[in-house]
Amino acid sequence: MQYISTRGGMTPQPFSETLLEGLAPDGGLAVPERMPRVDAATLESWRGLSYPELATEVLGLFATDIPRGDLARMTAAAYAGFPEPVVPLRPIGGGITLVGLSEGPTLAFKDMAMQFLGQVLEYVLEKKDSVLNILGATSGDTGSAAEHALRGKERVAVFMLSPQGRMSPFQRAQMYSLHDENVHNIAVEGVFDDCQNLVKELAGDLDFKRAQHLGAVNSINLARITAQTVYYFWAWLRATDALESPQGFEVSFTVPSGNFGNILSGLFAKGIGVPIRRLVLAANENNVLDEFFRTGVYRPRSAAETLATSSPSMDISKASNLERFIFELLGRDPQRVVAAWRDLDEQGFFDLSAEQPRFTGEFGILSGTSTHADRLATIRSVHEASGELIDPHTADGVKVAREHLEEGVPMLVLETAKPEKFSETITEATGLRVALGDDLAAMLDAPQRVTEMADDAAALRAFIEARALR
């Protein structure tokens, strides 16, 4: 299996090489030359596997350059700290089941991919006798998941940008309380999109990127997308366990989405062979993606227009992974992808409304928007009906999922984080105070280390040059 760029300017590379690149040299994103396929019989043969064993099978479709035994060792290590089952399914009534993705060390779904990424990066760097300086941007959970997966690793340093004042106190504490020498937190004046733009600017400077050994752990990293694909397989297998004839039985997924990485993994799973009927994208008030999937016009908002909401990890206006979907939508034609992005740069939007009927028909994507009032009402109603507390992002998902239920089609909502990470919103919705364990309470009280910085590429370059591994 080889990988190419969405913009056509990268020599095909194996899986291991794409992990160290982040953005492709031409500014595009790595995608498989062809999507792997599994038939119904193979899918059924995986039903009895543990989560790490299933991850080995699914990731083995992509990482064909890594020996299967090494891959199995890495998946076992990645999920060793998770309770069993690694991904529980929990019905909450009304035809909706939560897919529990928040059992990892930072209580967020990002751990599902990041723990594997930490293992495979270390593996590849040891093979190459090299180092990597990760430059990333986070709107909340990616940063802490990356830092907890990579802290203390000798061959990796992490430079994580986050928007000043735009994350919850819990999210800030999870990142800024880490004092490992290889972890560098940088709070940037602005919003997540400003952080993401800085990452792309430095990653697009190939001389700087190579001199500083820059890489990425944001969801532009292909290992993130492929590792997230695993839990779509797992959720379908668990949701159909009780069926006498599960082959071909379709389920739908609703995915809270800001950067389009998590739902893109669902598209990969559907393309590989998981029987998925609908992939429903749930947006918050920063609903650029919902507008795109309803109209076909993609019009990102400026930093000033990007709202600070109570589901802050989705406070994103420009979705990094959308380019991978556009590549598939436009017939895998790099020239058409480049033209769309040129329109975006020149006029602030691109118009693919002629292709919009295919969003639902060919790709099975629907979408919807949730507001703060919706989140509060959904958190309250789910708790009253099931006793479950859900975080605000998951509440966005449940609210939109309720609008797209179909008779006879199970609706699975991907959980985003534990409610403890957003206790103020939980209290506002239910009047309940979320109890924190001693470890979490100590983390909130721990000293924090973070560097505040203007939205300034030159200042960021100097900061990295002074601290990068070589």
Confidence bin at 323 (pLDDT 50/70/90) = very high
Confidence of residue 21 (pLDDT cuts 50, 70, 90): confident
What confidence score (pLDDT) does residue 218 get? 77
**Residues 33, 2 contacting (CB under 8 angstroms):** yes
In the predicted model, is pLDDT for residue 23 greater than 90?
Answer: no
Assess contact for 161 and 191: CB atoms under 8 A. Answer: no
Whether residue 141 is predicted with pLDDT greater than 90 in this model: the reply is no
Q: Give yes or no for a contact between 415 and 102, defined as CB atoms under 8 angstroms apart.
A: yes
| Percentage with pLDDT > 90 across the chain | 87
Task: Work out the mean pLDDT of the chain and round it to a whole number.
Answer: 95
Distance, in Å, from the CA atom of 44 to the CA atom of 85, rounded to the nearest integer, reads 19
Q: What local confidence, expressed as pLDDT, does residue 367 receive?
A: 98
Confidence tier at 234 by pLDDT (50, 70, 90):
very high
Q: Give 355-395 pLDDT, tens digit per residue.
A: 999 999 999 999 999 999 999 999 999 999 999 999 999 99
Taking the mean position of all CA atoms in its chain, how far away is CA 254?
14
Tell me, what's the pLDDT at 285? 98
Show the beta-strand stretches assigned E in 327-407: 350-351, 365-369
| Domains in the chain, CATH or no CATH each | 89-107+226-430 (3.40.50.1100)
**Cα–Cα dist 38/256, whole Å:** 27
pLDDT in tens, 178-210: 999 999 999 999 998 899 899 989 988 989 999
**3-class SS at 77?**
helix
Per-residue pLDDT at 458: 97
| Residues constituting the chain | 470
Handedness of CA 393, 396, 402, 405 (dihedral sign): negative
For residue 303, pLDDT over 90 is answered with: no
The answer on pLDDT for 140 being more than 90 is no
The model's confidence at residue 436, banded by pLDDT at 50, 70 and 90, is confident
Burial of 249 (0-12, 13-18, 19+ CB in 10 A): middle
pLDDT above 90 for 459: yes
pLDDT of 22 higher than 80: no
Question: Around Cβ 71, how many Cβ atoms within 10 Å?
Answer: 22
Give 65's pLDDT tier (boundaries 50, 70, 90): very high
Mean pLDDT of 447-456: 96
* β-bridge partners, 108: 417
- Specify whether 110 is catalytic: yes
The catalytically annotated residue of 110, 209, 318, 399 is 110
Can you give the pLDDT at residue 142? 83
Question: What's the average model confidence in pLDDT over 92-119?
Answer: 95
Neighbours of 380 (CB within 10 A): 17
pLDDT in the model for residue 96 = 98
pTM of the model: 0.93
What's residue 270's pLDDT? 98
Mean pLDDT lowest among 137-141, 230-234, 383-387, 463-467? 137-141
Mean pLDDT, rounded, for 326-349 = 97
Instruction: For the chain, give the percent of residues with pLDDT over 70.
Output: 100
* Predicted pLDDT at 219: 79
pLDDT band at residue 168 using 50, 70 and 90 as cut-offs:
confident
pLDDT above 90 for 166: no
Put the strands of the sheet holding 89-93 in their side by side order: 89-93, 96-99, 411-414, 251-256, 276-283, 365-369
